[in-house]
Amino acid sequence: MTLRILIAEDYKDLADSYKVALEGRGHEVIMTGNGIECQRTYRQYTKQVDGQIKPYFDVVILDQNMPGMNGIETAKEIQKVNSTQRILFITGYGIEVIQKLKQLTSNAAVMNKPFTVEALLAEVEGWPVSKLREMLKKGLKEWDGHTGTSVPVGPSRAG
C-alpha cells in the first residue's frame, strides 16, 4: 500500500536519506525544509476547492529542532487542521519531545536518532515487532536490494 508522507527536516542529507528509503518502498514523499514550510504545504494539500478539509497525508514526519518553527509547534498547527493526523517525530531530543506530547492528540510517536532504515520503515508502515525481527534477520541487502543498515546521522547541532 502506497502511503503519502510529508516530511519536515532541515538537514538535507537526512531528508534525502528518508526520501530515498521511503520512495524505495513505493511511498509518495513530499519534502519540506522547516516547520513553517511544512504546515503551509500541509494546508495546501488538505484544503479543497469548496473550503472543506480533506485529509491527504497518511503520516507527517517532523524533526523537532528546526529554524522558524519547531516540530511540536508544527504538529499543533497541523492538528488544528486535522486533529487525527498521524505524526512521527524524528529527533535527537526524544525526552524533550515526549514531555511535550501531551500538548497534542494521541496520534503522535517519537523515534530517537540514530535509527536503522528498517526501524523507520517499521514505524511508518506500522509493522508488528515480529515482521521487523524477520526483516532484520534477512538483512537489509537481501530485503530491499540496498546496502548499509542505517540512516546516516549528520554532525551534532549542539555546538
| pLDDT attached to residue 13 | 92
What is 4-144's CATH topology?
Answer: Rossmann fold (3.40.50)
Q: Which amino acid is at 109?
A: A
Q: Is the peptide bond before 67 cis (omega within 30 degrees of 0)?
A: no
CA distance 26 to 9: 20
| pLDDT attached to residue 135 | 62
Residues of the chain with pLDDT under 70: 93-97, 99-101, 103, 105, 128-159
- The set of cell numbers assigned to 84 is 487525527
- The set of cell numbers assigned to 109 is 510517536
| pLDDT attached to residue 90 | 87
**pTM of the full structure:** 0.77
| pLDDT attached to residue 138 | 66
| pLDDT attached to residue 132 | 57
Q: Is 108 exposed, middle or buried (0-12, 13-18, 19+ CB in 10 A)?
A: buried
| pLDDT attached to residue 143 | 47
CA distance 65 to 5: 19
CA distance 26 to 40: 25
